[in-house]
């Protein structure tokens, strides 16, 4: 194969990388119990056992001052708020009603997001690092039986627009909500 053929092969194959869905399916119940279902509830994000970069959350926070620790609690709340908001908005646009869970009877299926690892990233003018939030989403029956489980992640680059870790993590929360809504829409439509 000559150089021109190699370049042509690379040009054609590069756009195909990353064309799959933005989730990894850990478990998907078959037959699909979500076909034509239109009501789901979402519980708050579970952060139990969270690791921040290479450190357990308590170790990470021990190195921070009081103001940063207080902001950190707000950042996690912000991830949760943006996740739920975007999930509800995006699902609604596809005719799926997602509500905030108020108890086991809120909906026939419960969306249970959990974040076990994240990287807050940084932005210091000329240097920046992306944030990344990795999430496991389970869709369960009201009594907790897992029907589907996926792994998703979202990254936000450090920039003037996303200068603070809180801004980046909120952006990640919204992105994760959008991905969850897309997965939900595919399952309700009968595909994965």
Examine the pLDDT at 118 and tell me if it is beyond 80.
yes
Question: Rounded to two decimals, what is the model's pTM?
Answer: 0.87
Each residue's pLDDT tens digit, 45-73: 999 999 999 999 999 999 999 999 999 99
> Domain coordinates of the chain in residue numbers?
28-189
Torsions phi, psi for 21 (to 5 deg):
-65, 155
Chain centre to alpha carbon of residue 123: 22
Per-residue model confidence (pLDDT) at position 18: 56
CATH architecture, range 28-189: 2-Layer Sandwich (3.30)
Residues 130 and 143: their CA atoms lie apart, in Å, by 37
pLDDT at 78 > cutoff 90: yes
If pLDDT is split at 50, 70 and 90, which confidence band does 192 have? low
Q: Round the average pLDDT of the chain to a whole number and report it.
A: 88
Whole-angstrom distance, CA of residue 141 vs CA of residue 147 = 7
125 pLDDT exceeds 90? no
What local confidence, expressed as pLDDT, does residue 84 receive? 98
């Amino acid at each position: 194969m000559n150089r021109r053929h190699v370049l042509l092969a690379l040009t054609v194959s590069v756009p195909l990388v990353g064309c799959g869905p933005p989730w990894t399916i850990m478990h998907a119940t078959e037959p699909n119990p979500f076909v034509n279902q239109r009501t789901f509830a979402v519980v708050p994000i579970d952060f139990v056992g969270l690791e921040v970069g290479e450190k357990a959350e308590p170790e990470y926070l021990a190195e921070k001052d009081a103001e940063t620790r207080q902001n950190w609690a707000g950042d996690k709340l912000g991830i949760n708020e943006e996740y739920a908001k975007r999930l509800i908005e995006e699902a609604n646009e596809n005719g799926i009603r997602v509500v905030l869970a108020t108890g086991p009877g809120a909906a026939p299926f419960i969306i249970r997001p959990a974040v076990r690892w994240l990287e807050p990233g940084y932005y210091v003018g000329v240097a920046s690092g992306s944030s990344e939030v990795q999430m496991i989403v389970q869709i369960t029956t009201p009594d907790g039986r897992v029907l589907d489980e996926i792994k998703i992640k979202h990254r936000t680059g450090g920039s003037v627009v996303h200068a603070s870790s809180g801004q980046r993590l909120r952006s990640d929360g919204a992105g994760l909500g959008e991905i969850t809504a897309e997965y939900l829409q595919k399952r309700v439509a009968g595909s994965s």
